Structure 1
Amino acid sequence: MASYGVAEAKNNFTHLLDRVEAGESITITRHGKPVAELKAAARERPVLSIEERGAAMDRLRAVAESQPRIDISAVDLIRQMRDEGF
C-alpha cells in the first residue's frame, strides 16, 4: 500500500484517485502517522427492471426443473447423508 504525506497527497490528488480507481489503496499520513486511507468505493449492483427480474426467475426455474427429482424427504436425505458419513 502506497503512503503519502498530506501536502504530497494534496498536490497529486487526481493522480492518487486514478490509482485508487485502478484498485490500489493509499494511506495519507501526517507527520509520518497514518490518518486516512483512500480506497475504491463499493460498486453498486445494477437495478433490474420488473421484466429483467421475471426473466431471471424464469431462467432459475428452468434450471431447477431440469434437475432430477429424488423421492426422499429432506429429513430422510439428511439422515442418510449423516449415516453414510458425508
Structure 2
Amino acid sequence: MRQVQVTEAKAAFSGLLAAVEAGESVAITRRGRVIARLVPDAATSAAEAFRPFWDNLEEIDLVAPDAETPEPVAAL
C-alpha cells in the first residue's frame, strides 16, 4: 500500500484517484500516522447486502400477518 503525506495528497489528488481506480490502495498520513485510506470501491450485489439477514432466519418473522378487515372511512 502506497503512503502519502496529507500535503502531497492535496497536491496530487486526481492522480491518487486514478491510482485507486486502477486498483491500488493509498494510505494518507499526517506526521507518520495513517489518518485515512483510499481504497477501490467493490461492487456489492443485493444478495451480499442482505446476507446478514438470511444468516439469522430464526430471528426474522417471515410469516405474513392475518388479513384484517379494513376500517370504514368517514365520507367527506
Q: Give me the TM-score of the superposition, normalised by structure 2.
A: 0.56
What SS is found at the alignment partner of 1:43?
A: coil
The residue number in structure 1 matching 2:9 is 9
Q: CA deviation at 1:41?
A: 1.1
Letter in 2 for 1:9: A
CA distance in 1, matches of 2:40, 2:14: 14
Runs (4+) of structure 1 moved beyond 6 Å? Answer: none
Letter in 1 for 2:39: K
CA distance in 1, matches of 2:44, 2:18: 19
Number of paired residues?
A: 45
What SS is found at the alignment partner of 1:24?
A: coil
The residue number in structure 2 matching 1:43 is 43
Q: Rg bigger for which structure?
A: 1
What SS is found at the alignment partner of 1:42?
A: coil
Q: Any gaps of 5 or more consecutive residues in structure 2?
A: 46-76
Q: Any gaps of 5 or more consecutive residues in structure 1?
A: 46-86
The residue number in structure 2 matching 1:20 is 20
What SS is found at the alignment partner of 2:16?
A: helix
Task: Tell me how large the CA RMSD over aligned residues is.
Answer: 1.0
Question: Is 1:33 aligned with 2:33?
Answer: yes
Q: Give me the TM-score of the superposition, normalised by structure 1.
A: 0.49
Q: Identity of paired residues, percent?
A: 47
Letter in 2 for 1:8: E
